A = this chain, B = another copy of it.
């Protein structure tokens, strides 16, 4: 049977037992566990283990996984050197994409893609990604790199390598919840790209590089940057009403609202909303939170009945801003978290692979003659 589905809407392209989304009711589960429960109780490390192994780890399993991940916090010397020579104008997403790709140079056997090897390569990439982002951000600010601290969690260590000081407990927990809630989300574009690329039996580096490239698009991971730009455009909470109504009148898009999948409030936004509020208070960013909250109130009043609600990008923007991240680091944060999900999908795909090879519909003429250049 042959079907044309633009954007593959409605087409099932893979089976998974990682995440499940009920868009109508606004529910997200990882391996059957509600995202709210994970956000409250789990850690990013445990969540990644869950996604890859389809079960929560015992204490010993979690310790073993965490130990291996920490052994990969240190960025390969060749990558560290390369970071120093990258022009400081380069966007961090281009840097992350390129350097995840380059990690293959420093792997003795980068193409091994039996399921067990793929896990170790995924840990190699997931372990080094925070260091790559942190070191590049410091380099472009003219600061020396900070070596990792393997006594710290994934989230703590990233914030330490970025800022040179250990984060407060609230900040580390807030950041870790962002990592947990962004780790997987069905067959989104970047996850699909990773599965498409690994399906040629290429390699984990190729697959995750492709996913980073997809995520940087404004229709995908780039959206939370748009939210922050919008918040910066609005001078104060008193200007929100006019700003939003004006956008709606002109049929402009309000960034951070609406989602192809969710027709109810994005379940991930609920957790982030609480978090954003607490962090905004802690860090003196109350005005920003109030603007966000006011936008949501007006949008619910005006278009809530159409199923247009805040999505995960809306509150992650506020959160990352309060953590002190520059705008162009927002999408790399999303990537660092989603590396967990992408890797899980690569492992799933390798476990039951079939090459993705859809058809194109040819819409031109046939049997066109080749005409010599002077007769054209």
| Contact surface of A with B, Cβ cutoff 8 Å | 1-20, 29, 31-34, 37-38, 41-42, 46, 54, 56-59, 62, 78, 81-82, 85-87, 89-91, 94-95, 97-98, 101-102, 104-106, 110-111, 186-190, 192-193, 196-203, 205-207, 209-210, 212-222, 260-261, 354-374, 376
Q: How far in angstroms is the closest Cβ of chain B from A216?
A: 5
Q: Which 9 A-B pairs have the closest CB atoms?
A: A200-B217, A206-B213, A32-B368, A17-B364, A202-B217, A210-B210, A13-B358, A7-B354, A8-B358
List 8 A-B pairs, Cβ < 8 Å: A38-B370, A101-B101, A186-B360, A189-B357, A192-B357, A202-B213, A205-B213, A210-B210
Cα(A101)–Cα(B221), bound, Å: 18
**B187 contacts A200, CB within 8 Å?**
no
Q: How far in angstroms is the closest Cβ of chain B from A311?
A: 13
**A206 contacts B199, CB within 8 Å?**
no
A57, A366, A372, most chain B CB atoms within 10 A: A366
Which of B188, B213, B354 has a CB less than 8 Å from the CB of A210?
A: B213
CB-nearest residue of chain B to A99:
B98
CB-nearest residue of chain B to A58:
B376
Q: How far in angstroms is the closest Cβ of chain B from A354?
A: 4
**A187 contacts B6, CB within 8 Å?**
no
Tell whether A359 pairs with B85 under 8 Å between CB atoms, given A33-B370, A91-B110, A213-B209: no
Q: How far in angstroms is the closest Cβ of chain B from A12?
A: 4
**B357 contacts A8, CB within 8 Å?**
yes
By a CB distance below 8 angstroms, the chain B residues around A19 are 362
**A10 contacts B359, CB within 8 Å?**
yes
Which of B34, B59, B196, B212 has a CB less than 8 Å from the CB of A214?
A: B196
By a CB distance below 8 angstroms, the chain B residues around A365 are 32
Cα(A373)–Cα(B364), bound, Å: 60
**B59 contacts A373, CB within 8 Å?**
yes
CB-nearest residue of chain B to A42:
B370
CB-nearest residue of chain B to A61:
B376
Tell whether A3 pairs with B7 under 8 Å between CB atoms, given A97-B101, A209-B97, A370-B33: no
A1, A62, A101, most chain B CB atoms within 10 A: A101
Which of B17, B201, B213, B373 has a CB less than 8 Å from the CB of A217?
A: B201
Cα(A359)–Cα(B22), bound, Å: 12
By a CB distance below 8 angstroms, the chain B residues around A192 are 196, 356-358
CB-nearest residue of chain B to A348:
B360
Cα(A184)–Cα(B357), bound, Å: 14
Cα(A345)–Cα(B213), bound, Å: 17
**A210 contacts B200, CB within 8 Å?**
no
CB-nearest residue of chain B to A203:
B216
Cα(A58)–Cα(B45), bound, Å: 59
Cα(A366)–Cα(B62), bound, Å: 23
Cα(A32)–Cα(B210), bound, Å: 31
By a CB distance below 8 angstroms, the chain B residues around A104 are 90-91, 94, 98
Which of B46, B188, B196, B376 has a CB less than 8 Å from the CB of A189?
A: B196
Tell whether A85 pairs with B86 under 8 Å between CB atoms, given A13-B359, A202-B217: no
